[in-house]
Amino acid sequence: MLWTSFGNLKVWFSQWEFTATSLGFGRLKKRDGTDDHLEEGSVMFFTGQKKRILNLDETDGSLDNTKGKRGGRLPLVFYAKDIAGGSPAASKSSYTPTLICGSNADGEATPPRFQLKSTAQSKTRTCFSIEFIARCKDIWETFGHNKRTLLPCTFGSNEKAGTNSVELEKCFKGSMLPLCPDIENVPGKRVIAKVDSSPG
């Protein structure tokens, strides 16, 4: 909470305003107030550009109620009103996969990406549970496509089931770039992806 000072917030929003307008995602609102009813904030986004602004984050998929730095699941408590007691029930697994989720500024969810644990020393020996993959659902969204498109859930693996620079690059190439197949370094075709830099 110490970071959220007026000075830091002003710098953050000023930089975001500059980035959005200089890269062609939108324009500043008119000073005469005629744009106020159309868009909140100081930037008027051009048509379709909110679909091209992505925000990604990772969360802990802990199965044993461990308190890691990436979130985690609270324990379940079973009880009956007429019986005293009741205790938390949690899986006793130390396995902690990572789930990468997000959305664009228009509210469309990005396809989930699971980072799973694998001790395999080569790609050809990496295995996933078929039952696990079958339960992971693809999503229907538009993003940079001309119509709603089925976008697949993706998977990655490494020794710690976490996201490092290698896995993040795989995530972008396998999950994020296909969201906007028309990406190009020209106004209207660019994509912004916002990710945090901690804790990993």
What is the mean predicted confidence (pLDDT) over 149-175?
85
Task: Calculate the average pLDDT of the chain.
Answer: 80
Cβ distance 25 to 53 under 8 Å? yes
Domain extents in the chain: 1-46, 48-195
Instruction: Give me the pLDDT at residue 133, please.
Output: 76
Compare 116 and 43 and report the one with higher pLDDT. Answer: 43
Q: What are phi and psi of 73, to 5 degrees?
A: -100, 135
Cβ distance 64 to 135 under 8 Å? no
What is the mean predicted confidence (pLDDT) over 34-40?
75
Compare 111 and 63 and report the one with higher pLDDT. Answer: 111
Specify which of 4-13, 82-91, 184-193 reaches the highest per-range mean pLDDT: 184-193
> Model pTM greater than 0.85?
no
Q: Of the candidates 26, 18, 22, which has an alpha carbon nearest to the alpha carbon of residue 43?
A: 26
> pLDDT tier at 184 (50, 70, 90 boundaries)?
very high
Asked whether the predicted pLDDT for residue 116 surpasses 90, the reply is no
